[in-house]
Amino acid sequence: MNYTLSLNQPGQIIFKRGISTIFWAINLIFFSVLLIFYILQVGTLTQKIYLIADYEKRLEKLSQKNEVLEIEFSKSNSLANIENYLIGENFVKANASQVKYLQILESTVVSK
């Protein structure tokens, strides 16, 4: 390598070949850093895309389970099932003749 030193103005020294080498070295480092950041961002983006897809699958499964549970809940709370439960617990249906109401006189309800 042949470096030359020239003096344009008093006190100003310019390395003709040295500045060009430094410039390209800085550019190479700068672009290398940018490339590394680009690769890291693509990796992170890919990971997040797979996570989103996984969460969507989980959401779909939970939605299906929710629909099944809603159907089972509505079946278990139907009047026929409640009636069967009451019969199983030895409850007896009341007849209209068996129901007796209490008669309360108005004068005895309120007293001071």
pTM (predicted TM-score): 0.46
CB atoms within 10 A of CB 15: 13
Whole-number pLDDT of residue 27: 94
Q: Give the model confidence (pLDDT) of 33-56 as tens digits.
A: 999 999 999 999 999 999 999 999
Which contacts qualify for 11-18: CB closer than 8 Å, 24 or more apart? none
- The parts of the chain modelled with pLDDT lower than 50 are none
In this predicted structure, what is the pLDDT of residue 69? 92
